Structure 1
Amino acid sequence: MARYHIETYGCTSNRGESREIERRLRDAGHRRTDLDDADVAILNTCTVVEKTERNMLRRAEELESEVSDLVVTGCMALAQGEEFADVDAQVLSWDEVPAAVTNGECPTTTADAEPILDGVVGILPIARGCMSNCSYCITKFATGRIDSPPVEENVRKAEALVHAGAKEIRVTGQDTGVYGWDEGERKLPELLDRICDIEGDFRVRLGMANPGGIHGIREELADVFAANEKLYDFIHLPVQSGSDDVLEEMRRQHRVDKFRETVAAFDDALDHWTLSTDFIVGFPTETDADHERSMDLLREVRPEKINVTRFSKRPGTDAADMKGLGGQTKKDRSKAMSELKMDVVAEAYEELVGTRREVLAVRPGTGDSVKCRDSAYRQIIVRNASEHGVEPGDTLEVEVTSGQTVYAFGTPVASEGPDDADEAEETPAAAD
């Protein structure tokens, strides 16, 4: 797990984003520490006046000299990211920060992880541990091998969340695809079917599933998605590299063809769905040719959600003993992939403009806005939510009015409220 240091400047919104970043990092097993002991520093920036901008740049330069990895987020990062071009840092929107800090590692839950109801979102950890032995991941030291409670137990927990008011259930784990493997069975399709059979008006999102675990059940699982309207047509498959040589050095349990075959199975079963994936750039053995293979794979499969992480060494892992690449090499590759990522994701959201989508309002956004999700888990923001009478938990139809790279804006179709498409408002923070 990573030790992180976080500094926040600016308004209440920035402080709220930092709290959410910290919550996700804690949920993933990472811990906050002083700057002297940190693996990574996170700088949440403000950009109110020119003096503030100078202060933010100076602080970024100071932090760069103190830690091996620096992440810059917040208002200045989003509005003036180019100002940090000379700083060896990842410049990200706030919702991308937790994934960048985790270095491609699996999420971590505590030994006694229980379901949590956060607003109308229910968090359901279905198992602890994984079946992988990735050379760069320190999480395995904390979680061990997969430990899967019975399907009936997880279904009871899901029912309790629905009865408590959950409108969205997030099925989570270190690797959901290997649920049941400790008992010699592949139980994920059965579990999702059973959860979707629970009476009530709610949606279900499947959490991270490594391609190696999913591959053997890809067609059965894709059929489960096709048969259940309650399941968001969304799957998170972290490929990590487009090079089989790098995947072998990472000790991943899949190769690129398995990833492609899994994606193809969902393409065959579903008309519209969202692929989320992760790439680690700058792994110690990654060559220029390996990096280009990752770029080519991204162009080929065109995921709608992409996490790009620069490799960083974790103490005690085998990859920590490898001779690393230079910081500038990792920075250049990260920048190139991040730019391609933004083009790919923006294209997906631009294609939604002018369409009508049924969405579930999930969380409050910045100001008077609500974050919603359509059937493929694409994020659509409804602004002036109180005027439209929209609250978290509501299901409504919206017309998508504009795309903003990693989310879109939509207006409720039945609303008689004002046209808010051109109203200026601070960019709502993206959901996880």
Structure 2
Amino acid sequence: MARYHIETYGCTSNRGESRQIERRLRDAGHHRVEGPGEADVAILNTCTVVEKTERNMLRRAEELGEETADLIVTGCMALAQGEQFRDAEVDADVIHWDEVPEAVTNGECPTTTPDAEPVLDGVIGILPIARGCMSDCSYCITKQATGKIDSPPVSENVEKARALVHAGAKEIRITGQDTGVYGWDTGERKLHELLDRICDIEGDFRVRVGMANPKGVHGIREELAEVFAENEKLYNFIHAPVQSGSDDVLGDMRRQHQVSEYVEIVETFDEYLDYWTLSTDFIVGFPTEEDEDHAQSMALLRETRPEKINVTRFSKRPGTDAAEMKGLGGTKKKERSKEMSELKMDVVAEAYDAMVGETHEVLVVEEGTGDSVKCYDEAYRQVIVQNADDHGVEVGDFVDVEITGHSTVYAFGEPV
């Protein structure tokens, strides 16, 4: 788990975004510290209202970059003028608000507390389906807190999902350290059965499946893809973190899967689904990553073209085996991260650009900045609807929208 320091500048909307970021970080087992010097990562949520503010943001980013191991810059200036941080050679990841929690995790699994119960947050229902995982990744400290997978019965999780729907949930987010290995401790792979039964619950809602490591998904990829194809309530979305395009590095990470298995998962979902979102993670600069290994990761990104990509520079976690390895220099990690992040933006922008002119049904899940709302389409791609009041669009609504444009990592939609 990481120690984080967060600073927020600007309007009430920015403060609201920071609260959401912190909520997701706490849910993943990370904890806040007061000063950047004590933190593993510092988060700067920026404002860009006037030129003086921009200069202050650049100066503060430079200061934080010198005071902490890793810096993440997000917020209005990061989105509108991210190139200014790069031109100033600020050593930071400049990313969208929604990407911050994943960037902090260093490739680790989320942490579910022993007494985790379903939570209704607005119209979003959070359903932890199990605790623990079956992996033993050499860089991950989460395993020390969670242990092996412990899967409640399918019927128990279905009843929890039913209670969330009856309480008003329009979106159920299936969570866990590794949803793909749900049921392994009982001798059966049950994720596809669980999803099928949740989708049988009466009501108008959507279901999103949380992180599932490729090893667990690979063994049930046909069954899982078939369940996705048969159930409209399921967002056509999987988050399968590959972490590297090199089998040698995956071996050193003790990731259990090979690159070929990840590719087979992608090919299977391509066969069953015409429109879906692949989300994955890459750890850049693992201690044993050579230039050729990095090149293989870049090639895998180009080949599979995930629509959502989390790029994280490796950092050591105390008590892990990877912390004992001789690490790569910060400059090399920064260069590789920059190269992959630039490719990532090209790949993601291409996916959202292809949506322009199409009509999609979206679910409005929460309020956005100003008079906008955040929505997700059937493939869990984020769509922003502006002037929501004028359109009579409210949180919890299902709306048909025409995609009119995009801002690289999300689309803009106009109700039709």
Partner of 1:306: 309
Query: CA RMSD of the aligned region, Å?
Result: 1.0
Q: How far 1:70 sits from its partner (Å)?
A: 1.2
Query: Partner residue of 2:106?
Result: 103
* Counterpart residue identity of residue 10, structure 2: G
Aligned residue type for 2:415? P
**Whole-Å Cα distance in 1 between the matches of residues 176 and 207 of structure 2?**
14
| Cα deviation, residue 235, structure 1 | 0.6
CA contact (8 A) 1:100 1:308 kept: yes
Counterpart position of 1:349: 352
Q: Please give the alpha-carbon distance, in whole angstroms, between the structure 2 residues aligned to 1:199 and 1:51.
A: 54
Shift of 1:242: 0.5
Superposition deviation, residue 79 in structure 1? 2.2
Q: In the alignment, what sits opposite 1:178?
A: 181
TM-score calculated relative to the size of structure 2:
0.97
1:278 corresponds to 2:281: yes
How much has 1:80 moved relative to structure 2? Answer: 2.2
Shift of 1:197: 0.6
How many angstroms does 1:404 deviate by? Answer: 1.8
Verify: 1:27 aligned to 2:30, yes or no.
no
User: CA separation of 1:203/1:57 partners in 2, compared to 1, >3 Å: closer, same or farther?
Assistant: same
Indicate the larger mover: 52-61 or 241-250. 52-61
Shift of 1:83: 2.4
Counterpart of 1:409 in 2: which secondary structure? strand
Question: What residue in structure 1 maps to residue 66 of structure 2?
Answer: 65
Q: Are the aligned partners of 1:129 and 1:144 in contact in 2 as well (CA < 8 Å)?
A: yes
Aligned counterparts of 2:404 and 2:91: Cα–Cα separation in 1: 37
1:419 corresponds in structure 2 to none
1:56 — aligned with what?
Answer: 57
Paired letter, 2:138: S
Matched with 1:331 is 334
Question: Deviation at 1:11?
Answer: 1.4
SS at match of 1:309: strand
- Check if 1:261 corresponds to 2:264: yes
Q: Structure 1, unaligned stretches of length 5 or more?
A: 414-432
Matched residue of 2:394: which SS?
A: coil
CA distance in 1 between partners of 2:252 and 2:153 (Å) = 34
d(CA) in 1 for partners of 2:307 and 2:331? 27
Alpha-carbon distance, 1:335 to partner: 1.0
Query: What is the match of residue 228 of structure 1?
Result: 231
**CA apart distance, 1:402:** 1.2
Match of 1:365 in 2: 368
Displaced runs of 4 or more, over 6 A: none
1:159-202 CA-to-partner distances (Å, cap 9, x unmatched) read 00000011111111000000011111101111011101111111
Deviations 1:16-66 (A, max 9, x none): 111111111000000001323211111112222232222222222222222
CA distance in 1, matches of 2:157, 2:394: 28
Answering whether residue 246 of structure 2 is matched by residue 243 of structure 1, we say yes
Gaps of 5+ in 2: none
CA separation in 2, counterparts of 1:377 and 1:78?
Answer: 21
Please give the alpha-carbon distance, in whole angstroms, between the structure 2 residues aligned to 1:66 and 1:200.
50
Residue 79 (str. 1) matches residue 80 (str. 2): yes
Which residue of 2 is the match for residue 43 of structure 1? 44
- Distance, in Å, in 2 between the alignment partners of 1:82 and 1:194 is 47
The equivalent position to 1:210 in structure 2, one of 187, 208, 213, is: 213
| C-alpha separation in 2, matches of 1:29 and 1:363 | 24
> Structure 1 residue 305: deviation in Å?
0.6
Structure 1 residue aligned with 2:142: 139
Which amino acid is the alignment partner of residue 148 of structure 2? R
Is 1:11 aligned with 2:11? Answer: yes
- Encode CA deviations 1:275-297: one digit per residue, 9 max, x unaligned: 01111111111111111111111
Q: CA deviation at 1:343?
A: 0.8
* 1:130 alignment partner, SS class: coil
One-letter code aligned to 1:16 = G
Shift of the alpha carbon at 1:225? Answer: 0.8
**DSSP-derived class of the 2:241 partner:** coil
The one-letter code sitting in structure 1 at the alignment partner of 2:34 is D
Aligned mates of 1:384, 1:65 — CA distance in 2: 41
SS of residue paired to 1:65: helix
Q: Which amino acid aligns with 1:380?
A: V
Contact 1:361 1:372 in 2 (8 A): yes
Please say which of residues 129-138 and 28-37 is displaced more in the overlay.
28-37
Name the CA distance, whole Å, in 1 between partners of 2:64 and 2:121.
33
